[in-house]
Amino acid sequence: MGTIGYVETQRVVLATECDPLVLTSGAVLEHVEVAYETYGVLNEARDNAVMVCHALTGDAHAAGLHLGAKKRGWWDNLIGPGKAVDTDRFFVVSANLLGGCSGTTGPASIDPATGRVHGPDFPLLDMADFVAVHRRLLDHLGIGRLHAAVGGSLGGMQVLEWALEEPDRIDRAVVVAASSRLTTENIAFSAVARAAILEDPDFHGGRYAEHGVAPRHGLKVARMMAHVTYVSGQSLAEKFGHARDTSGTGKRLAADFEVEHYLQHQGESFLQRFDALSYLHLTRPMDYFDPFAAHPDVVPSTRFRLVSFDSDWRFPTAHSLRIRDQLLARGVAVDHTEVVSPWGHDSFLLEPPGYHDLVRSFLG
């Protein structure tokens, strides 16, 4: 298997004053710019396209390496020559979500109508709004039908929504560690994370940019708590156990155990790449997501491959089984496999044995 070399993020305007994006809420965005990357070559028949949908804090940079950077794309182990999503065969498209903060229009973007950042005036989003922008990007690229759409976590939720909205546009759907309806516990975790941001003194009702500050503490705490839900108790225990910081002596209230320092690092590094309002706007649509209720009579022609992980306690296997049962009840072709992994929800970004083989065989 090979690796993708240097790649560049591209940008395109997909909504204008003459062709605005009307959101599910009825709100209108008259300027939407989208950041995206492509890997591989679109064939003459234009039928080898694979859309990759990213999770909550992902971006368009799914594979390859940016010039001058050290870190490869977030799904580089899955996408590339000879890999499960084989760029020798497929033309892969990855786009940053609407509402994000990595090149696609979001709360931190300038509103052309006012010349100021959208800030808290940015409209609330729905899963269908993420998909609407994906559709516009495919239309811009001249791609009618997708060979496949692939997504993990929030990315898998986008794939499911898309297949129900456009039941004849996606041939194959790979939905990994995802949900069709959050549990009360899921919503509770996100509520605590959002409260940390909303109640930060530097939030200023979402107008923190006008005050020259950011709710750094709240966003850091939100990320620290969320990160705990992405890993497993086993992986934390094996990595850190009860090891403590050897630089200090005695007991203290400040961070002492190695796992505490690890979470502090995760929170601090997150501040360098994410915006607080984007975090709020991208987590909220997940709480309201219930696509089978929203599309009660749709029977997609899409074939589904579902994957869950036995150590994932954020979106455990029961979530995938619900998707499977709902699809089977509609007569949709669907297969599900629970993969053994020690890494929890983050397994979808890693390579537990058998996982990539399932994706490779299904896309083939």
Q: What is the mean pLDDT of residues 50-56?
A: 98
- The band of 2, judged by pLDDT with boundaries at 50, 70 and 90, is confident
Domain match, 18 and 30 both: yes
Predicted local confidence at residue 113, as pLDDT = 86
Q: For 192-209, how does the pLDDT look when each residue is reduced to its tens digit (9 = 90+)?
A: 999 999 999 999 999 999
Domain count, the chain: 2
Contacts of 77 (CB under 8 A, 6+ apart): 83, 349, 350, 351, 356
Predicted local confidence at residue 248, as pLDDT = 62
Q: Which helix (H) or strand (E) holds 268?
A: helix 258-271
Q: Is 53 helix (H, G, I), strand (E, B) or coil?
A: strand
Q: For 70-86, how does the pLDDT look when each residue is reduced to its tens digit (9 = 90+)?
A: 899 999 999 999 999 99
Domain match, 156 and 214 both: no
Q: What is the mean pLDDT of residues 176-181?
A: 98
Q: Is residue 2 part of a domain?
A: no
Point out which residues pair with 22 in neighbouring strands: 28
Compute CA distances 333 → 45, 89, 300, 304, 324, whole Å.
Answer: 25, 24, 9, 6, 9
**Structural tokens at position 268:** 């601090």
User: Which of 283, 314, 330 finishes a domain?
Assistant: 283
Let me know if 264 is exposed, middle or buried by CB neighbors in 10 A (0-12, 13-18, 19+): middle
- CATH number of the domain residue 112 falls in: 3.40.50.1820
The strand pair at 85-86 and 79-80 is best described as parallel
Predicted local confidence at residue 327, as pLDDT = 98
Q: Is residue 25 part of a domain?
A: yes
Active site residue 153: yes
Task: Tell me which of 126, 345, 347, 356 is the catalytic residue.
Answer: 345
Q: For 243-285, how does the pLDDT look when each residue is reduced to its tens digit (9 = 90+)?
A: 987 766 788 888 899 999 999 999 999 999 999 999 999 999 9
Domain match, 51 and 178 both: yes
Out of 66-70, 160-164, 174-178, 329-333, which region has the weakest mean confidence (pLDDT)?
66-70
Domain match, 257 and 293 both: no
Q: Tell me how far the alpha carbon of residue 286 is from its chain's centroid.
A: 11
Find the angle CA(262)-CA(264)-CA(266) to the nearest 5 degrees. 70
Q: Which helix (H) or strand (E) holds 164?
A: helix 154-165
Task: Tell me which of 94, 102, 109, 153 is the catalytic residue.
Answer: 153
Domain match, 150 and 273 both: no
What is the C-alpha to C-alpha distance for residues 211 and 205, in angstroms, rounded to an integer?
Answer: 11
Domain match, 98 and 217 both: no
Q: Is 1 helix (H, G, I), strand (E, B) or coil?
A: coil
Residues 21 and 14: beta-carbon distance below 8 Å: yes
249 or 148, greater pLDDT: 148
Domain match, 157 and 190 both: no
223 assigned to a ligand binding site: yes
Residues 106 and 99: beta-carbon distance below 8 Å: yes
Domain match, 198 and 103 both: no
Domain match, 240 and 343 both: no
346 assigned to a ligand binding site: yes
Domain match, 175 and 246 both: no
Q: What is the mean pLDDT of residues 235-248?
A: 86
pLDDT at 188 over 70: yes
User: Which of 283, 308, 325 finishes a domain?
Assistant: 283
Q: Is residue 1 part of a domain?
A: no
What is the C-alpha to C-alpha distance for residues 107 and 88, in angstroms, rounded to an integer?
Answer: 37
Task: Please give the model's pTM, rounded to 2 decimal places.
Answer: 0.96
Range of the domain at 221: 186-283
Task: Tell me which of 76, 129, 200, 312 is the catalytic residue.
Answer: 312
pLDDT at 133 over 80: yes
In eight-state DSSP terms, residue 71 is: S
What is the C-alpha to C-alpha distance for residues 283 and 258, in angstroms, rounded to an integer?
Answer: 28
DSSP for 285-351, written as a single string? HHHH--HHHHSTT-----EEEEEEETT-SSS-HHHHHHHHHHHHHTT--EEEEEEP-SSGGGGGGS-
Instruction: Quote the mean pLDDT of the chain.
Output: 96
Domain match, 119 and 59 both: yes
Q: Is residue 4 part of a domain?
A: no
Q: Is residue 227 part of a domain?
A: yes
Find the angle CA(125)-CA(131)-CA(133) to the nearest 5 degrees. 85
User: Which of 248, 283, 318 finishes a domain?
Assistant: 283
Q: Is residue 75 part of a domain?
A: yes
Q: Which percentage of the chain shows pLDDT scores above 70?
A: 99
Domain match, 228 and 100 both: no
Find the angle CA(193)-CA(97)-CA(308) to the nearest 5 degrees. 70
pLDDT at 27 over 70: yes
Q: Is residue 335 part of a domain?
A: yes
SS3 content of the chain, % helix, strand, coil (to 5): 35, 20, 45
pLDDT at 147 over 70: yes
Let me know if 311 is exposed, middle or buried by CB neighbors in 10 A (0-12, 13-18, 19+): buried
Active site residue 102: no
DSSP for 166-233, written as a single string? STTTEEEEEEES--SS--HHHHHHHHHHHHHHHTSTT-GGGTGGGGT---HHHHHHHHHHHHHHHS-H
Q: Is residue 42 part of a domain?
A: yes
